Structure 1
Amino acid sequence: MTQGDRVKDVRKTLKLTLEEFGKKVGVTKQTVSRIENGINNLTDQMVKSICREFNVNYDWLMDGEGEMFSDLPQTVLDELCSQYELDDLDRFIVELYVGLPKDVRDGIKARAKDLIRKRNTSEEKK
């Protein structure tokens, strides 16, 4: 199995179109198609993006060794929950937030900053 085949396996496993997959890693659907079909090779940057964005095991993507997906983020989340005594609802909220697109997270942060600013202004007037 080639690296292109493994990229296609990841995309199909995640039920993403060429366009959706490409958007998440910052390339066009044509680029993804050319990689899957062996016309283009994976660049180092593309490998890093795929592994980071989809939690893909680097060794599997490069050489076909090990499992397709890494369990590292789950382990990190488990450690976070343990360290801060987060319950199941806390865990769900954290997973939900980190799973949001960056622009949505940025919008939430902007709104939170606005609410904090308004609260601080209100308290100063008292």
Structure 2
Amino acid sequence: MDERIKELRMSVGLSQKEFGVRIGVSDTAVSKIERGERNPSEQTILSICREFNVNYAWIMEGLGEMFSDLPETLLDQVAEEYHLDELDKKIVKSYMQLTEEKRKVIKEYLHNIFINEKDD
């Protein structure tokens, strides 16, 4: 499981600290889990699955795909309703995987653009 957790973290492009913040543990705990020095609690495993939409069977036993299909289904539904193309979908999916801090920076940037447009 330690290797799968590291693989997941690397695939979402997060440092151990950023990953830990997202699942509610310290970067030291993430490091120990990835090195096999500590087993994650069931709560930590569930947090990983919920936060990153990871397939529980994959993280526990390496069965199936890394990510669950549910968000793809939801994203596909939203894409259909709002006529999103593949680039739109990729942007939305990537945005959802960002840390809260990085999303805040993007929201502030977009807010400034939209507010400035309204003022013009």
TM-score of the pair, normalised by structure 1: 0.65
Gap change, CA 1:10 and 1:101, over 3 Å in 2: closer
Taking the aligned partners of 1:71 and 1:6, their CA distance within structure 2 comes to 18
Q: List per-residue Cα deviations over 1:28-82 (Å, max 9, x = no partner).
A: 1000011111121111111111111112111000111011122210101223444
Tell me the equivalent position of 1:51. Answer: 49
Tell me the equivalent position of 1:70. Answer: 68
Tell me the equivalent position of 1:36. Answer: 34
Structure 2: state its 5+ residue gaps: 112-120
Q: List per-residue Cα deviations over 1:2-42 (Å, max 9, x = no partner).
A: x1111011112222211111111111100001111112111
Gap change, CA 1:101 and 1:38, over 3 Å in 2: closer
Structure 1: state its 5+ residue gaps: 112-126
- Among 82, 92, 95, which residue is 2:92 paired with? 95
Tell me the equivalent position of 2:116. Answer: none
* Identity across matched positions, percent: 42
**Is the contact made by 2:20 and 2:26 (CA closer than 8 Å) also made in structure 1?**
yes
Tell me the equivalent position of 1:114. Answer: none
Gap change, CA 1:7 and 1:79, over 3 Å in 2: same
RMSD: 2.9
Structure whose CA Rg is larger: 1
Q: Is 1:86–2:82 an aligned residue pair?
A: yes
Taking the aligned partners of 2:45 and 2:74, their CA distance within structure 1 comes to 21
TM-score of the pair, normalised by structure 2: 0.68
- Among 18, 25, 28, which residue is 2:16 paired with? 18
1:59 corresponds to which letter in structure 2? Answer: A
